[in-house]
Structure 1
């Protein structure tokens, strides 16, 4: 059983139930989730909508990040059993689910640590960019170099 249960970028709405099922494991005593949604503001400015774009290498980079998180968080002998990550691309509305990550482990401490590390490393290392539209008519790219 591949410990990377799900690693995809999708234009279609994301399923939290699918992610939960993907990280299910009878050895797991804890499962941690992070669900990122599109909010109506950013740094004090009203947001009307946004769009995510991804580099062609984003899917392979996502998997690489997940492999590293698994290796690092399982190094102390208390393994993380399964991880999953889904990220939207395309146009999203306020309230839409943009990203879902999850980790299951023997204990909650490892599940929480792996989940936190997954979302932080995905945001820092996977080439996915956000284009935000503001209520004042302005827009900006976030995460683009």
Structure 2
């Protein structure tokens, strides 16, 4: 399942703490739409991690929201996974911060997808131990 513009705006409104009219006014809708087109193209692989990597990268790099773009990007990515019966392990938080920094610095989508894939699990299952979830990149 893919996200739509209203899905992204609803999540962003919740994160930012504002109503739908305000979030629409504070959002670069064109940047979100381009990101959603890229996520849809990534869905051709059949791998949700590829879709999520395109979504996360687009939202982090384009910064379409006035305010906490990284928090919104992570929340939207979590929403995508939840709709597809997956959970993303967010612990330890420092590793998520490092992932977001790499994304912002231009990490390849393929590497972002690998990083996300290592943190994925079916909903309701326990996360993998932290020592096996992330490896530092050079």
Whether TM exceeds 0.5 here: the answer is: no
TM-score in terms of structure 1 length: 0.33
Report which of the two structures shows the higher radius of gyration computed on alpha carbons: 1
Larger proportion of strand: 1
